[in-house]
Amino acid sequence: MPQTENTATVVKHTGSHYLLSRLPEWKLFPAVLRGRIRLGGNSSTNPVAVGDRVIYETGPEPPSAENPAVIKSVLERKNYVIRKSANLSRQSHIIAANIDQAFIVATLDFPEVKLPFLDRILVTCEVYNVHPVIVLNKMDLFRDGYAGQLEAFRRIYEGAGYRIMEVSAIEGEGVAGLREACNGMISLFSGVSGVGKSSLIKALDPSIDLKIGQISEAHLQGKHTTTFYEMYPLSSGGFIIDTPGIRGFGLVDIAPEEIALYFPEMLKASENCRFTPCTHTHEPGCAVKAAVEEGTVSYERYSSYLGMLEEGRKYR
């Protein structure tokens, strides 16, 4: 029986079943993995991720639920975002591949942004060549009494060179600008549970059918509403990848001595360190430690770096 090979992009995966589309065309069809890909030399729990471009094979009839296409191989990725949920874990998980930008959704409160967690995502984006943008959602809640927190957050992350977009999914503040930033791009939306990511995506395009979760009053954190990693087309142009809320974000394949290279503000300051290499912890004449004392490198970011450095040494 003749077989036909072609390429497509993975737009959803649910365990061993996938949906593909030949982007930019949005015409979905089902696919399954050929067994040897799953057993190949890949330490990740998902050797095929949303955003992957794959070579697939079909029979003479169009793919259907009864006769899905078969994914034969994954084409080389231009980038990806990867994590491990626990530092002791040997397994990693690819969140998305071949993306143009990652919008990291956070809030000043409800739930409170955890800077070490945010910094781990930013470092991962730097390592794997993904352009990150920080999106502060729920700004309608933070107009009164949060001016100091907002100013401090801006000082830390704009000072490190990152763009911050302030939005309110509920009131629509900043949504038009975010929609424009997504036009023509493949954009990943990620963040911890409860930051309003699904509400924000719904505000970007009301035609996208997402479940909206509520904050747990007992724990001040969100309930998981997104179960699968999935790509959606935006009616205004571009594609977005929605992800389940993330509670743990361990670094993958980054040696302790390399971590400082992925803090842009520390990398710049380190050009003036007396010794090379420099761990920026105890060496005399360390320009990074001097920059922390002067305030040009934030203490919060430096503290995150020290935490990652210690974890990297501990679990090697």
Mark whether 10 and 148 lie in a shared domain. Answer: no
Mark whether 111 and 212 lie in a shared domain. Answer: yes
pLDDT band for position 244 (50/70/90)? confident
What is the model's pLDDT at position 211? 54
Asked whether the predicted pLDDT for residue 220 surpasses 50, the reply is: no
Q: Is residue 248 part of a domain?
A: no
Lowest-pLDDT range of 148-157, 187-196, 215-224: 215-224
Asked whether the predicted pLDDT for residue 87 surpasses 90, the reply is: no
What is the model's pLDDT at position 222? 37
Percent of the chain with pLDDT over 70: 87
> Is the bond preceding residue 24 a cis peptide, omega within 30 degrees?
yes
Asked whether the predicted pLDDT for residue 214 surpasses 70, the reply is: no
Letter string b/e over residues 205-243, b meaning 16 or more CB atoms within 10 A of that residue's CB? beebebeebebeeeeebbeebbeebbbbbbeeebbbbbb
Asked whether the predicted pLDDT for residue 212 surpasses 60, the reply is: no
Mark whether 134 and 176 lie in a shared domain. Answer: yes
pLDDT in tens, 34-43: 766 643 445 6
Q: Is residue 269 part of a domain?
A: yes
> Is the bond preceding residue 62 a cis peptide, omega within 30 degrees?
no
Q: Is residue 238 part of a domain?
A: yes
Mark whether 180 and 229 lie in a shared domain. Answer: yes
pLDDT band for position 300 (50/70/90)? very high
Where a domain ends, among 242, 272, 297? 242
Provide the CATH number for the domain around residue 22: 2.40.50.140
Give alpha helix (H) positions in the chain.
Answer: 35-38, 115-127, 147-159, 175-182, 197-204, 264-269, 287-294, 299-314
CA dist., res. 222 & res. 206, Å (int): 21
Percent of the chain with pLDDT over 90: 72
Mark whether 10 and 90 lie in a shared domain. Answer: no
Report CA-CA distances (Å) from 139 to 60, 219, 221.
Answer: 53, 21, 17
Asked whether the predicted pLDDT for residue 97 surpasses 60, the reply is: yes
Mark whether 269 and 292 lie in a shared domain. Answer: yes
Mark whether 232 and 139 lie in a shared domain. Answer: yes
Count Cα neighbours of 292 within 13 Å in the Cβ-side half-sphere.
Answer: 18
Asked if 123 contacts 254 with a C-beta cutoff of 8 angstroms, the reply is yes
Where a domain ends, among 220, 242, 264? 242
Q: Is residue 29 part of a domain?
A: yes
Mark whether 260 and 237 lie in a shared domain. Answer: no
Mark whether 129 and 230 lie in a shared domain. Answer: yes
CA dist., res. 235 & res. 149, Å (int): 35
Asked whether the predicted pLDDT for residue 140 surpasses 70, the reply is: yes
Query: How many domains, in total, are found in the chain?
Result: 3
pLDDT band for position 216 (50/70/90)? very low
Q: Is residue 131 part of a domain?
A: yes
Where a domain ends, among 44, 74, 104? 74
What is the model's pLDDT at position 245? 78
Count Cα neighbours of 224 within 13 Å in the Cβ-side half-sphere.
Answer: 9
Count Cα neighbours of 191 within 13 Å in the Cβ-side half-sphere.
Answer: 31
Asked whether the predicted pLDDT for residue 89 surpasses 80, the reply is: no
What is the model's pLDDT at position 5? 74
Both tokens of 57, joined, read 């094979």
Provide the CATH number for the domain around residue 203: 3.40.50.300
Q: Is residue 152 part of a domain?
A: yes
Amino acid identity of 105?
Answer: V
Provide the CATH number for the domain around residue 284: 1.10.40.50
Mark whether 110 and 209 lie in a shared domain. Answer: yes
Asked if 263 contacts 160 with a C-beta cutoff of 8 angstroms, the reply is yes
CA dist., res. 233 & res. 212, Å (int): 19
Q: Is residue 126 part of a domain?
A: yes
Containing domain of residue 35, as a range? 4-74
Write down the mean pLDDT value for the chain. 88
Q: Are strands 239-242 and 186-190 parallel, antiparallel or unpaired?
A: parallel
